[in-house]
Amino acid sequence: MKSKSFIAFFILSTTLLFLYISHKTPLPTTTAAAAIPDLKIRPGYTTYESYIHHQLNKTLNPKLREIWKTRDWDRKIRVFAGFFGDLKQKNLLSNSSKALSVGARMGQEVEALKRVGVSDSIGLDLVPSSPLVVRGDFHHQPFDDGSFDFEFSNVFDHALYPEKFVGEIERTLRPGGVCVLHVALKRRSDKYSANDLFSVEPLKKLFKRSELVHVRPVDGFGLDTEVVFRRKPVTRAL
């Protein structure tokens, strides 16, 4: 009897220990992207939960949300509308494009897309902001393959797994679809960033299924460089 209850105790306690450890989900110390020169993953995120928690800390701040909705609202929409107007002139975006903005927070960039005539536009963020922004993690976009003609994002620096961030954009873009990133190369972004990018080379490596369209300087809320990729047509394996 004694040994039976000992075995039961042993099984229960190891199960609990396993559950405890797996709940903590330790992050791999090296990721594929960590090996890419000119792209550094910031240390300090010990679990995926702690990364998400840190991102939410700013996005959920009620005082900031009030400012973003009021003082910042029109000012940011005007700047974004300028960017999207330029992209329309370059035929990288049109009124009939189905467009997604990744990491859109309150949705100014989505409103800007609509104002320049791209009516079928939606945003994605950890925190939804109805009706412009739906909830979701950009490391696992809640959309089917080939859902969009155009994706914009100015939050590459918030990606803990840049290869997933880019892989998900390439998955949800249709072949021929366009991705526009605004990134900071010259200055370091804020304490909510999860990586630091020092040139466009890592992006060229990460966008495996796309070709580079252009790189040009922009002045976009602390982000200095626009990088545009076009998803390649699907090639059939022989």
Ligand X SMILES: *[C@@H]1O[C@H](CO)[C@@H](O)[C@H](O)[C@H]1NC(C)=O
In this chain, which stretch among 21-29, 36-44, 154-162, 206-214 interacts with ligand SAM, using CB under 6 A?
154-162
Shortest separation between residue 109's beta carbon and ligand SAM, angstroms: 6
State residue 223 phi and psi, 5-degree precision. -100, 135
The residue nearest ligand X at its CB is 117
* Cβ pair 104, 132 in contact under 8 A: yes
Does 195 interact with ligand SAM (rule: CB under 6 A)? no
What residues are paired with 220 via a beta bridge?
Answer: 223
Choose the one of ligand SAM, ligand X, none that binds residue 117, judging by a C-beta under 5 to 8 angstroms depending on kind. ligand X
Residues 78-107 that bind ligand X (CB under 6 A): 95
Q: How far apart are CA 231 and CA 209, in angstroms?
A: 6
Shortest separation between residue 78's beta carbon and ligand SAM, angstroms: 13
User: Under 8 Å CB-to-CB from 211, ≥6 apart: which residues?
Assistant: 229, 230, 232
Closer to ligand X at the Cβ: 15 or 119? 119
Does 97 interact with ligand SAM (rule: CB under 6 A)? no
State residue 28 phi and psi, 5-degree precision. -60, 140
Does 117 interact with ligand X (rule: CB under 6 A)? yes
Residue 215: which of 206, 203, 231, 197 has the closest Cα? 203
Does 161 interact with ligand SAM (rule: CB under 6 A)? no
Closer to ligand X at the Cβ: 32 or 60? 60
Structure-block tokens of residue 125: 């963020």
Q: How far apart are CA 30 and CA 172, in angstroms?
A: 26
Positions in the binding site for ligand SAM (CB under 6 A): 55, 59, 76, 103-105, 108-109, 125-127, 137-139, 154-155, 158, 221
